[in-house]
Structure formats: C-alpha cells, structure tokens
Amino acid sequence: MDSRLRGNDSLAVNKMHFLITAGGTREYIDPVRFISNASSGRMGYALAQAAIKAGYEVTLVSASDLQPPVGVDFVGVDSAAEMFAAVKKSFAKCDCLIMAAAVSDYTPVKVSKTKIKKSDKNLVIKLKPTADILKWAGKHKNESRVTSHGSRIIVGFALEDKNLRKNAEKKLKEKNLDMIVANSPAAIGYEKSTVHIKTPNHKWLKLPHTTKTTIAKKIVDLLTC
C-alpha cells in the first residue's frame, strides 16, 4: 500500500477522523417530487460502522433513510448542494474523506414552489450540473492540515456500466484521489457485490461477490494499515 495511506505513528487511533458520505441525493422538482437514484446508502453505512468498530471517529453525511450506526456524528441532507455544504463544513477536521454517496449529477434549474399539476401536455424540466464534490476535495485535500497528521486521504467510488477499470482509473487520476472503488450497477440494492479497488502506482485489487460489511472492513484496513 502507498505510504500516503498508512496511519501516521504520531496519530493515535482514536484521533483519526473519517468523513463519509452515503445515499442518493434528492433534487426536488416541486415540494413533493424529486429526481434521485437507486442508491440504498448501505455501502456508506457499512464503511461508517467499520471505522467506528476499528476505533476511529466518524462523521456520516447521509441522504439515506437508514438508521445511522451508533457512535457516528450524523448529518442528514437531501440535495447535492446540501451534501457539498456539509462536506465543506467537516472537511478541515477530517483525515480521510470517503465519498460513497451517489451524488446527483444534475439538478433542476428552477424548483416549483407549488405541486406541479398533471396535464395532457409534455412536461420539460431543464437541468443544470451539480457541483463536483469529489473534484473539489481532491483539489483542496492538503489544505488546513496539521503537519504531523500527514496528507488527507480522499477516496472515491465509481459506478460504471462499461470499461469499468479504465473509467475508474481515469477518475482516480483526474480528481487527484488516493483510492477509487469501482463496481457495476449490479451492486445497487444488494448485500453482496464485486468491487475493484485501485490506488496510485498499485495494481487493481478485486473482491468478488463479497458482503458490503466485508468490503467496508477491507477498505478501512487498507486506508489505515
């Protein structure tokens, strides 16, 4: 494992702080309807549980309705903008950010203040890109660091339906990440999945048909070994 991902000897285990995002964000069209995705949030919650169990501090920023693990500092959000604001707020104090959330790529340009009534006409909703939280984190990962704590670690997830490793590795490099965890859409909603893990200058590690609990423990171990 890259030395940047090793725990610092001067950093006590209970001092390392994980900032983990989970769930699929909701981009509202009107007060009762929203655009979202099929992410359950289970992977992010499993990561939070694994980090807590290993003795670390955890802030969990979640757009999921799952019950938070005992011991985490929980921040509930809905939209991508709210998640970005929450990540920014906790970023300075974290030693490792794991972006396991499925953040919406687009959000409505305008949100209706009242429920949109059904009609016989087509409904056109104009969308605009959301902020790229992971890219922002990769750009600012070494800001506000205590020297003895070393570099902040940034971990991203990539859901790819084709050219999985190629596209994930591109994301790893372009967003200045320390680790990428890639899987296919087959992982959505299931307790077991196959993931591919990559860090700079190291070969791919494949975990075939493994529970999210086991995957989460492996990721936390890799980040702190």
**The pairing of beta strand 153-159 with beta strand 179-183:** parallel
Structure tokens at 108: 């409505």
Q: How far apart are CA 19 and CA 81, in angstroms?
A: 17
Q: How far apart are CA 191 and CA 1, in angstroms?
A: 27
Buried b vs exposed e over 194-218: b needs ≥16 C-beta within 10 Å? bbbbbbeeeeeeebeebebbebbbb
Catalytic residues: 37
Burial of 107 (0-12, 13-18, 19+ CB in 10 A): buried
